[in-house]
Homo-oligomer: A and B are copies of this chain.
């Protein structure tokens, strides 16, 4: 029971079960004291087991070395797109004052992680990167900024396959006064570049406009104080049927059945942006009498034309059922989803939020942003790497200094000469040649320098190229230089 290995501890439970069965044979089946005793022993065995296996919090995960290599590749693709558009980097604390997050996330606020009250301020883990960005602008009185941030956010959601409580977001936000749709265009363009260059499959970007949505609800007869909560229901249409959503609208949100049905006719509209737009702007369209909707349609017309000029409009689908759950959006809203047989949910989302900064400072700074939820991207990339059957190198080591013995001082002297000239090198102390070669092969290290007694006496070291199997002798005093040559470093 005090066995030190995890495997052994699992065995303990099995062994106990077997032992209990045997023991039962010797006892009267009516005798309950045995059961009580066995129950207690079982508890102890299992609790030992639990104590010995450390765990990670539910909904979180570690990234090991191969996963990190993939993740770093994805981040470098994403960062290069952001930098191509002249965005600057910003970092904010992982927790914010609780008051900063309150009133920004609608019904999802219940998912915010709070820090314990240990005296001092009340804080919560960030729920997204948008609110901290707005807080940063307001706090520092900044009126204009195009920034990106790649960082983890936290949501006390029910963990499920591919859904985590801690996950990365990659955000680009453009804040500041500019021409109509100037920033909206660029943010959407960036999103298409991100998804294209990550190269993980076909996708579409659903797009709508909050003012068009509000206009639609007004036309359907919904009172304005219910706009946001009705939007939360409509937003579920990508996962639920209209019948389910209608039930929620009528029974929970208190809409009249005919109002809900009228909404139903509108939210079915989706298709190529310019087609749907011309339908909604066409004569007889009920939107023409609603000033908010007209404004939204005019903005969308500019946006669609700019995206067409930029050759990425074919990725956009104008979708009147897209509502987005968050409270703070005020203009264009969008959400990217993978196309294909499996419904994998949204991979990126964003929109315009002109009032959020003002909620902090009283001074309006219009802004628009997109957030890429990168976790699914990692999963897909890992899958693709596996399919390619390519070994992912977790290190970049170029040379293994293989000491055929235990002489640490010799190893220290030789390998330090390599490190000094920035050769990536590891060393090993082992008298068996095979052991060093296995290590090099396993880690994909291309060169091995063998250092045994004969090498030291001759003043030459044996250099082996793992891929070509070629070996040569190089002078001890010039060995770092010779390796640099072979690595094209000089």
Q: Which residues of A contact B (CB under 8 A)?
A: 2-7, 9, 52-58, 60-65, 68-69, 71-72, 83-97, 100, 113-118, 120-121, 123, 125, 135-136, 138-141, 147, 152, 154, 156, 166, 178-182, 185, 189, 193, 302, 305-307, 309-312, 358, 360-364, 394-397, 406, 408-413, 416, 419, 422-426, 429, 443
Contact = CB atoms under 8 A, between A and B. Distances in A.
B65 A310 contact: no
Contact of A185 (B7, B185, B309, B412): B412
Contacts of A409: 302, 305-306, 309
A310 B419 CA distance: 10
Contact of A93 (B61, B147, B182, B410): B61
Contacts of A113: 115-116, 118
A194 to B, nearest CB: 12
Given A5-B362, A114-B115, A409-B305, A424 B90 contact: no
A83 B310 contact: no
A94 B113 CA distance: 12
A305 to B, nearest CB: 5
Contacts of A310: 412-413, 416
Contacts of A84: 419, 422-425
Nearest to A96: B57
Contacts of A312: 416
A53 B139 contact: yes
Given A54-B361, A64-B90, A397-B86, A309 B416 contact: yes
A118 B154 CA distance: 14
